[in-house]
Chain A
Amino acid sequence: ETGVTQTPRHLVMGMTNKKSLKCEQHLGHNAMYWYKQSAKKPLELMFVYNFKEQTENNSVPSRFSPECPNSSHLFLHLHTLQPEDSALYLCASSQGFGGAEDTQYFGPGTRLTVL
């Protein structure tokens, strides 16, 4: 489980705050993903980066801003969030060569609470 790490593990923020989530993968992968996990809802894919290029933005509000400076690091910058954005945010990585068998490996997640 140390292949993909996420910090912080827990975050409480007010609606006017700006914060960032960090993800790092140590698996030599080329693709990285942000997912949102809310109670009783399927996992929601937010963003995909492949070889540092954003290849997917799943209609995510602009108050979420991703950044991928290299293939090992992924950030999610947060600003003016809403209480309904409270959720577990999961980062994942994969080889990223586009094959359907490409397996994603997940980090432990950041539990975000927006007050």
Chain B
Amino acid sequence: AQSVAQPEDQVNVAEGNPLTVKCTYSVSGNPYLFWYVQYPNRGLQFLLKYITGDNLVKGSYGFEAEFNKSQTSFHLKKPSALVSDSALYFCAVRGPYNTDKLIFGTGTRLQVFP
């Protein structure tokens, strides 16, 4: 069965510092991995996805994520955090079969302090 874990409920970082939001997954076969962001009173916005190829994926708003097969992780990163990055971040995974659903993590709240 597929699953995804976001081990931190909240991540706090000072503006200008690098940020990391962690995600680990479990899936049979090759994973398809996604990151979404949710601002207050808004829906989920797609940030980036890993399908195949280069392990470092670049996405919207300066975010990137690194796929690590041996550690079954897909951590979201940004070199320099902005206060406006404060939001709820969701990792999601799908297995390689057409019947596999997109499974979301419970979310990590990122708080960037000025």
Contacts and interface: CB of A to CB of B under 8 A. Distances in A.
Interface of A: 1, 4, 6, 40-43, 45, 56, 90, 92, 98-101, 103-109, 111
A40 B42 contact: no
A42 B49 contact: no
B90 A43 contact: yes
Interface string B82-98: 00000000100011111
Give the 7 A-B CB pairs with smallest separation, nearest first.
A106-B43, A43-B104, A106-B44, A100-B32, A108-B43, A101-B51, A98-B98
Contact of A108 (B41, B51, B90, B101): B41
Main SS of the interface on chain B? loop
Interface of B: 32, 34, 36, 41-46, 49, 51, 90, 94-98, 100-107
Contacts of A111: 41
Given A40-B106, A41-B106, A100-B32, A4 B49 contact: no
B106 A1 contact: no
Contacts of A99: 98
Contacts of B96: 100
Contacts of B43: 1, 4, 6, 90, 92, 106-109
B45 A42 contact: no
Contact of A100 (B45, B90, B95): B95
B90 A45 contact: no
Most buried by B among A4, A6, A45, A106: A106
Contacts of A107: 43
Contacts of A101: 32, 49, 51
18 contacts: A6-B43, A40-B106, A41-B106, A42-B103, A42-B104, A43-B44, A45-B102, A56-B101, A90-B43, A98-B98, A100-B96, A100-B98, A101-B32, A101-B49, A104-B102, A106-B45, A107-B43, A108-B41
B108 to A, nearest CB: 12
A3 to B, nearest CB: 10
